[in-house]
Homo-oligomer: A and B are copies of this chain.
Amino acid sequence: MPASSEEFARVAPEVCAMIQAWIAHGEDATTPAIPESTPQALRKRIDAAWPMQGMDDAALLGTMQLLLENSINPWTERFMAKLYSAPSIASVCGEMLLAAMNASVHVYSASPALSTVEDACAAQLAALFDFAENADGITMPGGAASNTLAVQTALCAAFDGTYRRDGVYGLVEYLHRNGRQGRGARPALLTSAASHFSLDRAALAAGLGMDAVVHVPVDAHDRMRVDALAAILDAMTRDPSHPNGAPFFVNATSGTTVLGAFDDIEAIAHVCAKYHCWLHVDASWGGAAVFSPAQRSALLRGSGMADSITINPHKLLCVTHQCSFLLVRDARVLREHAIHAGYLFHERGPVVDHAMKTLGCGRRGEALKLYLTWCRHGTAGLAAHIDAGLAVARHVLAQIQACPLLELGPLAEPLFLQICFRPVQYGSATGSAATHKLHAALQAERQFAVDFAPTAQGDFMRLVVHPRTPQHIFSALLERILALLRSDM
């Protein structure tokens, strides 16, 4: 093999130039957001050319170009289907650095700088959420992974440590010894009916089973009804053989997937304290509101009372995929995950190897990308980013309200960054059918990607007003939608 520095010097600038051209292409107003995607054709082409022998630079670069051309171009800003955006350039550079370092952040000795950056970022985030000095946090590969680790951590922390050694089998025995009976001796997790499906999956993954999840009703704005939560917890606690089981964990959502609703953390925290439940806050999407002092007190009041919090900087903060943190109020709960592995963990003293604090082993240094994004924009810049996004969302809402051809769906109260709407009529279609017709028409044009979602009032287009996306993009989208509707009147 030639020296890597030579190969890098030869190839990396070409890749840089290719990416730069792709970004610039995306910034052109006529570039489709969605590629002319034919999965079967691309798969055939890849399979047919499977490399038995290696490729030279030109062939390798050609392959990269082919893949770019068949990918969503986030730089158009017109891919608005998901809760993320084009990434910050600082975090793109962070990925380049991570690749060159190629370190696993599982033990400190393999990744001194990256371990340190992770601890520093976790501490800064924890402070924003009003956690005190003895908090801790780690990155996980995605919000679902963070939520799942929160459930597993709560299980380990509760029930006198039974879960770690004896699993759910031990918990059921423990609950029997404590007076619970039959199905009432099953540990149960409560979360709102509007929360993310990763909570259901966390229950499955942790061995509780999906029936261990109790879905608490929501109000018309998809906020958990705290009165209902209290009533359910009271009934489950009073009846030792309650069919819903024994409550130990409540999830509050800060920024639901469809409406962007924020549960009332403070009120829920008081209920959790009364019924001795772990309070987790899934702030995967809305947690970044913590950067804005105004939004923090409006949307996240009481976050310091939570036992654990998930936040995904790869969503609102334009950090590249993935970057999710699980924060805990009490550092000791993560250290319960430590396990003896004589071939791996050798640290003594103040440093704690990060793989001691998870249920995994090797880890990417995902915190670096948040750190560099934070460095680039500053706490002040990220606060302004959030505030500006909310201002745009209010403006887009006003635009839609002013348009008689469109009807609004349910909205978060106060409004966050999602707006559900649909055509009052599209050709002969109305209601959910009008939504699906509009979704299909936009997909076919490939200029805008907007997802649809079910709500209590039927299916609506769910527009994500990501703070990264400029106002004029939303205006262009609405113009295009109105043109489509008018052409089919």
Contact = CB atoms under 8 A, between A and B. Distances in A.
A102 B59 CA distance: 23
A120 interface: yes
Copies in the complex: 2
A228 interface: no
B111 A72 contact: yes
Given A60-B372, A210-B164, A8 B12 contact: no
A480 interface: no
Interface stretch (A14-22, A389-397, A404-412): A14-22
Interface in A189-232: 196-198, 200-201, 203-212
Contacts of A364: 141, 321-322
Interface string A345-380: 010001100000001111110001000101111111
Interface string A123-166: 11000000000000000011111001000100100000001111
Interface in A92-111: 92-104, 108-111
Interface residues of A, number: 153
Given A95-B96, A209-B166, A200 B4 contact: no
Interface stretch (A167-175, A235-243, A294-302, A422-430): A167-175
A55 B4 contact: no
A81 B50 CA distance: 34
A178 interface: no
A13 B11 contact: no
A54 interface: yes
A96 B15 contact: yes
Interface in A29-57: 34-35, 37, 39-40, 42-43, 46-47, 50-55
Contacts of A155: 207
B103 A378 contact: no
Given A67-B117, A102-B86, A169-B168, A351 B205 contact: no
A416 to B, nearest CB: 15
A303 to B, nearest CB: 20
Interface string A77-91: 001011011110111
Interface stretch (A263-271, A336-344, A481-489): A336-344
Given A99-B87, A104-B84, A207 B115 contact: no
B97 A63 contact: no
Given A169-B209, A172-B172, A64 B13 contact: no
Given A343-B462, A381-B54, A165 B209 contact: yes
B257 A343 contact: yes
Contact of A204 (B64, B142, B167): B167
Contacts of A201: 337, 339, 359-361
Contacts of A258: 343
A113 B71 contact: yes
A5 interface: yes
B207 A206 contact: yes
A415 interface: no
Contact of A379 (B51, B70, B72, B453): B51
Shortest beta-carbon contacts, A-B, top 9: A207-B207, A167-B209, A168-B168, A141-B141, A95-B99, A70-B113, A343-B453, A54-B378, A342-B454
Given A54-B381, A64-B93, A200-B339, 10 more contacts: A4-B86, A5-B23, A8-B89, A9-B20, A50-B124, A51-B375, A144-B362, A145-B360, A165-B210, A207-B208
21 contacts: A4-B23, A5-B75, A35-B113, A43-B120, A47-B120, A47-B123, A51-B374, A53-B378, A60-B376, A64-B97, A67-B117, A82-B110, A92-B99, A103-B321, A141-B145, A145-B360, A167-B186, A167-B204, A169-B186, A258-B343, A343-B451
